[in-house]
C-alpha cells in the first residue's frame, strides 16, 4: 500500500473513532438562543434592539414560544454548553429577573410571580450540554440586561418590558377648582401600571362623565386630547356648565388591570374632581374692586404716616402712595 493510501486510511480511521467515541447529543459550541419575544427579529445585543416581552399584568408569568407573541411575559434562553454537565451562571441588571427551569417546571403559572425571579442563579447543564433559563422584566426601560456565562464563554442580552392599556393600574390626574361658565375644564395627569411604568393611553381608553349645573351626567367627549411623548402626561378638555354652579367630574379607566394585589399597592381606577363653574368677568370685576379698596386703605394709611413724618413726630422716612 502506498504512503498516500496509508495516510488516507489513517485519517478515515481517526475520524471514525472520533464519531464512535462522541455520545449522542454531546455538547458543542457555546450558544444561547432566545425565544418568546414580542419582536422576533430583535437580537438583544444593544439597548436599541432589546428582547421584548410583556410586563406581568396580573402577577402571573406566561411563556409563549410563538414567534412575535404578544401574550408572553417570559423569554426563554436555551443554553448550549461546550461540555456536558457544565456549570452555568446568569446575572441580571435593572428590573430583569431570572427564573430557572426547575422553578418554572415545578410551579408553571401557579406560583411563578413577579417576585419569584432573582438576579443571580447557578445551574448545571444536562448530559447533552443543554440548560434552560427564563427571564422577565417589570420595567419598560431598555436598560436591563441578562448575562449567561459558562467558563470563558458569555452572552449578554438587553431586555425591555412592554406595558399596555390592559395594565393600567393607577390614575394620577389633577383638575382646576373653577372654570368659566360655558368654558372648558382641563384635566392633566399620568397613567401607570402596577410597577410604576408610565403608559400612553388613547381617548377611547378613558371615560369622563360630568354631573351638575346644566350637565346631564352622560359621558362627554374629551376634546384636544394629547399625550406628551417624553413625559407621558395626558391632557384634555371637557365642557363646563352653562350656568354658575358646582359640578363633579368623574374620570375612569375603561379597562383597568383586573387583579388588585397587595404587592402592587392600591389601585386607582377612577378619580373625582369638584369644579365651580363661575362667571370669570364677574370675578375680574370683583377682584378689581377688592384691589381698589385695598389701594384706598393703603393710601389713607400712607397719608397719615407721611403727615407724621412731615411734623417730625415719626423717626422714619415717608412712604409712597399707590
The residue whose grid cell reads 493510501 is: 5
Buried b or exposed e, range 51-88, using 16+ CB within 10 angstroms: bbbbbbbbbebbbbeeeebeebbbbbbebbbbebebeb
Are 238 and 300 contained in the same domain?
A: no
Count the domains in the chain: 3
Find, among 87, 229, 211, 195, the residue nearest to 149 by Cα: 87
- Rounded Cα distance between 134 and 117, Å, is 9
Instruction: Give pLDDT tens digits for 46-89.
Output: 888 999 999 987 777 888 888 777 778 999 999 999 999 999 99
Q: Is the pLDDT of residue 231 over 90?
A: yes
CA distances to 57, 104, 167, 243 from 107, rounded to whole Å, are: 18, 5, 23, 61
Listed range (235-244, 246-255, 295-304) with the worst mean pLDDT: 295-304
How would residue 116 be classed by pLDDT, with cut points 50, 70 and 90?
Answer: confident
**Residue 16 is assigned to a structural domain of this protein:** no
Instruction: Give pLDDT tens digits for 253-308.
Output: 999 988 787 778 899 999 999 999 987 666 666 677 788 778 877 887 877 877 77
Are 263 and 289 contained in the same domain?
A: no
Are 226 and 193 contained in the same domain?
A: yes
Give DSSP secondary structure letters for 249-262: EEEEESS--S---G
Are 41 and 156 contained in the same domain?
A: yes
Are 48 and 152 contained in the same domain?
A: yes
Listed range (25-29, 91-95, 295-299) with the worst mean pLDDT: 25-29
Cell of 107: 410551579
Asked if 162 and 54 count as a contact pair (C-beta separation under 8 A), the reply is yes
Structural domain of 102:
24-162
Query: At 34, is the secondary structure helix, strand, or coil?
Result: strand
Specify the DSSP element, H or E, that contains 234: strand 234-239
Last residue of one domain, picked from the residues 162, 181, 197: 162
The CATH number for 141's domain is 2.60.40.10
Amino acid at each position: 500500500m502506498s504512503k498516500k493510501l496509508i495516510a488516507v486510511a489513517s485519517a478515515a480511521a481517526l475520524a471514525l473513532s472520533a464519531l464512535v467515541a462522541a455520545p449522542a447529543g454531546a455538547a458543542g459550541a457555546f450558544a444561547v438562543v432566545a425565544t418568546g419575544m414580542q419582536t422576533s427579529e430583535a437580537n438583544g445585543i444593544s439597548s436599541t434592539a432589546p428582547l421584548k416581552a410583556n410586563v406581568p399584568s396580573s402577577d402571573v408569568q406566561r411563556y409563549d414560544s410563538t414567534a412575535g407573541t404578544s401574550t408572553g411575559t417570559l423569554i426563554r434562553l436555551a443554553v448550549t454548553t461546550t461540555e456536558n454537565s457544565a456549570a452555568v451562571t446568569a446575572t441580571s441588571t435593572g428590573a430583569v429577573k431570572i427564573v430557572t427551569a426547575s422553578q418554572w417546571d415545578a410551579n408553571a403559572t401557579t406560583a411563578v410571580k413577579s417576585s419569584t425571579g432573582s438576579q443571580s442563579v447557578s445551574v448545571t447543564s444536562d448530559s447533552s450540554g443543554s440548560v434552560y433559563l427564563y427571564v422577565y422584566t417589570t420595567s419598560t426601560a431598555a436598560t436591563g440586561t441578562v448575562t449567561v456565562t459558562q467558563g470563558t464563554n458569555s452572552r449578554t442580552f438587553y431586555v425591555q418590558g412592554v406595558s399596555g392599556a390592559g395594565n393600567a393600574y393607577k390614575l394620577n390626574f389633577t383638575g382646576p377648582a373653577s372654570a368659566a361658565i360655558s368654558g372648558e375644564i382641563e384635566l392633566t395627569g399620568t397613567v401607570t401600571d402596577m410597577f410604576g411604568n408610565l403608559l400612553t393611553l388613547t381617548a377611547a381608553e378613558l371615560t369622563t362623565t360630568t354631573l351638575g349645573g346644566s350637565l346631564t351626567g352622560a359621558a362627554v367627549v374629551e376634546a384636544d386630547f394629547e399625550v406628551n411623548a417624553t413625559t407621558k402626561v395626558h391632557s384634555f378638555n371637557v365642557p363646563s356648565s352653562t350656568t354658575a354652579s358646582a359640578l363633579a367630574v368623574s374620570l375612569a379607566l375603561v379597562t383597568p388591570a383586573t387583579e388588585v394585589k397587595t404587592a402592587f399597592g392600591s389601585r386607582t381606577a377612577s378619580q373625582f374632581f369638584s369644579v365651580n363653574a363661575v362667571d370669570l368677568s364677574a370675578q375680574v370685576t370683583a377682584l378689581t374692586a377688592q384691589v381698589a379698596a385695598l389701594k384706598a386703605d393703603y393710601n389713607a394709611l400712607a397719608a397719615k404716616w407721611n403727615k407724621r413724618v412731615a411734623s417730625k413726630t415719626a423717626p422714619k422716612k415717608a412712604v409712597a402712595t399707590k
